[in-house]
C-alpha cells in the first residue's frame, strides 16, 4: 500500500450544511452509522476492498459525511486503483482504446453493484462527497474520480449538485419481489427423506417459480432443467462465511472461466476470501460426483438475496443444466429464508428478461482533474458503445 498524503477534512466552500471527516479504515466508521440501502455500501464491504490484489488498490480513504440538518450520516469509500479489471471489462467488448493509463480514484469500486450514498442523502452530502473525491484526486495525482453504479434518479441528483465531465450507462441490474408462501420444506429434505422429500422440494419450487415468473412456459422450463440437473447427479450445497474456505479455490477457477468467456478476467482468490468475511456472504454450489459444476457467490442483506457473481464449468454446462439449476436453487433459498427481493445482479440480460426480472440501469459519473477533450471523447464513445451493446444483448 502506498503511503500517500491525506487531505484535511472537507467542508463545502459554499455552505456549512455538510461536513466530511476522513477515515483511514472503513472499520473506523461509527457503530451507530445507519444501515445503508445495499450491502455494497456497508463498512464491512468497504473493509474487504482495502486489502485486494485482484483489483490493484494502491490506497484507500473513507469519507464520513454528516449533516447538521439532522440527516443521517453517510459513508463513501474511495480507492486509488491502477487498472481496474472491472472497468476494463466494459472497454474490451467495444474494442476501444483504454481510457486510462494510470491510477484512477473509484468511489467506490466498480465491483460494488450499487454505489452512491443511497436514498435520502442530502444535496449537501452529495456535494461534499464529490468535493472530497476531488481533493483526493489532486492529492494523489489521479487521472479521474469515478462515481460508479448509480440509479437513474440518483445519478441525476449528483449531476444537478456537481455536474460530471462524463456520464456512462455501464450496466443493468435485475431484481424481482419474491412470493411469500405459507410453508416450505426444510432445506435438503429430498436427501433426508428420499423420493417423497424430493417431490416436496419440486412442488415447492413450482409454487415459487410460478408466482415469480410471469410466463408459465418459462417457469415450467426452469423446473424441467432443474429436474434434468438432479437426474444428472447435481446437488445444491450452501456454505456461509468462512465455511466456504475449502471450496473457494475451485470456485475461483470457475469464476475466472466464466469471466474469460465474456472476454476479461475480473476475479481472483483474494477477492472471494476477503468478501467471505462480509456478514451475509454465502456460496451456493452445484456439486457433482466429477467435481464442482458451478456456483453463485451471494449476499443476504436487508431482506434481499444478491446473486453477485457466478462460477461455471462451461464444458459441462449443457449436460448438467448448471446455470438454470443454480438460478432455481437460489430463488428457492431466498424464498425459504424469508427474503423479500431477489437481486440477480448484472449481465446475462436476455435470460433474466425472459425470467420476468425488472432491470435497473446503472450510471457511472466521471470527474476529470482538468479539461481533457480526448478523454471526454473516449468516455462519450464508451457510453454510446455500451448502450448499443446492452440493447443488442437484451434482444438476443
| pLDDT per residue as tens, the chain (396 positions) | 444 555 545 443 434 456 889 999 999 999 999 999 999 999 999 999 998 999 999 999 999 998 777 788 999 999 999 999 999 999 999 999 999 999 999 999 999 999 999 888 999 999 999 999 999 999 999 999 999 999 999 999 999 999 999 999 999 999 999 987 765 555 544 444 444 678 888 999 999 999 999 999 999 999 999 999 999 999 999 999 999 999 999 999 999 998 998 888 999 999 999 999 999 999 999 999 999 999 999 999 999 999 999 999 999 999 999 999 999 999 999 999 999 999 999 999 999 999 999 999 999 999 999 999 999 999 999 999 999 999 999 988
Residue with cell 459513508: 75
- What is the Cα–Cα distance from 205 to 219, expressed in whole angstroms? 10
| Residue 150 to residues 93, 273, 383, Cα–Cα distance (Å) | 22, 26, 14
CATH superfamily, with its number, for domain 179-339: Gcn5-related N-acetyltransferase (GNAT) (3.40.630.30)
126, 367 Cβ separation under 8 angstroms: no
299, 306 Cβ separation under 8 angstroms: yes
- What is the Cα–Cα distance from 280 to 299, expressed in whole angstroms? 5
Question: Would you call 245 helix, strand, or coil by DSSP?
Answer: helix
| Residue 6 to residues 21, 75, 115, 296, 328, Cα–Cα distance (Å) | 11, 17, 22, 38, 47
391 — phi, psi (to 5°)? -60, -40
- What is the Cα–Cα distance from 154 to 355, expressed in whole angstroms? 27
41-52 pLDDT tens trace = 999 999 999 989
Strand partners for 358: 175
- What is the Cα–Cα distance from 198 to 330, expressed in whole angstroms? 17
- What is the Cα–Cα distance from 189 to 172, expressed in whole angstroms? 35
Domain ranges of the chain: 10-170+362-395, 179-339
Longest CA span, the chain: 69
Which cell numbers hold the place of 57? Answer: 488498490
214: DSSP letter: S
CA angle, 355 then 252 then 343, to 5°:
25
198, 229 Cβ separation under 8 angstroms: no
Amino acid at each position: 500500500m502506498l503511503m500517500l498524503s491525506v487531505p484535511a477534512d472537507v467542508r463545502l466552500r459554499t455552505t456549512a450544511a455538510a461536513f466530511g471527516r476522513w477515515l483511514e479504515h472503513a472499520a473506523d466508521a461509527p457503530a451507530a452509522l445507519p444501515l445503508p440501502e445495499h450491502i455494497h455500501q456497508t463498512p464491512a464491504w468497504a473493509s474487504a476492498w482495502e486489502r485486494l490484489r485482484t483489483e490493484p488498490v494502491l490506497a484507500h480513504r473513507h469519507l464520513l459525511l454528516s449533516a447538521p440538518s439532522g440527516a443521517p450520516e453517510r459513508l463513501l469509500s474511495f480507492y486509488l486503483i491502477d487498472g481496474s479489471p472491472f472497468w476494463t471489462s466494459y472497454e474490451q467488448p467495444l474494442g476501444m482504446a483504454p481510457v486510462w493509463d494510470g491510477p484512477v480514484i473509484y468511489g467506490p469500486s466498480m465491483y460494488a453493484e450499487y454505489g452512491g450514498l443511497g436514498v435520502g442523502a442530502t444535496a449537501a452530502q452529495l456535494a461534499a462527497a464529490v468535493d472530497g473525491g476531488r481533493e483526493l484526486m489532486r492529492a494523489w495525482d489521479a487521472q479521474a474520480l469515478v462515481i460508479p453504479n448509480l440509479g437513474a434518479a440518483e445519478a441525476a441528483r449528483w449531476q444537478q449538485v456537481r455536474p460530471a465531465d462524463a456520464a456512462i450507462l455501464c450496466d443493468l441490474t435485475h431484481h424481482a419481489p419474491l412470493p411469500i408462501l405459507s410453508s416450505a420444506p426444510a432445506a435438503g429434505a429430498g436427501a433426508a427423506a428420499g423420493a417423497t422429500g424430493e417431490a416436496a422440494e419440486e412442488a415447492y419450487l413450482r409454487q415459487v417459480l410460478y408466482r415469480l415468473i410471469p410466463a408459465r412456459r418459462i417457469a415450467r422450463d426452469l423446473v424441467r432443467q432443474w429436474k434434468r440437473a438432479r437426474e444428472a447427479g447435481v446437488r445444491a450445497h450452501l456454505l456461509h462465511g468462512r465455511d466456504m474456505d475449502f471450496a473457494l479455490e475451485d470456485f475461483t477457477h470457475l469464476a475466472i472461466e466464466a469471466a474469460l468467456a465474456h472476454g476479461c478476467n475480473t476475479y481472483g482468490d483474494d477477492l472471494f476470501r476477503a468478501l467471505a468475511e462480509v456478514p451475509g456472504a454465502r456460496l451456493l454450489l452445484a456439486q457433482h460426483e466429477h467435481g464442482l459444476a458451478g456456483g453463485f457467490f451471494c449476499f443476504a442483506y436487508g431482506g434481499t438475496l444478491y446473486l453477485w457473481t457466478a462460477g461455471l464449468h462451461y464444458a459441462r454446462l449443457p449436460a448438467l443444466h448448471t446455470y438454470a439449476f443454480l438460478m432455481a436453487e437460489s430463488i428457492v433459498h431466498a424464498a425459504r429464508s424469508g427474503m423479500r427481493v431477489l437481486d440477480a445482479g448484472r449481465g446475462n440480460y436476455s435470460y433474466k428478461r425472459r425470467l420476468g426480472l425488472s432491470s435497473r440501469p446503472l450510471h457511472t459519473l466521471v470527474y476529470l482533474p482538468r479539461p481533457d477533450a480526448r478523454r471526454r471523447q473516449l468516455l462519450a464513445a464508451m457510453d454510446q458503445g455500451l448502450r448499443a451493446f446492452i440493447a443488442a444483448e437484451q434482444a438476443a
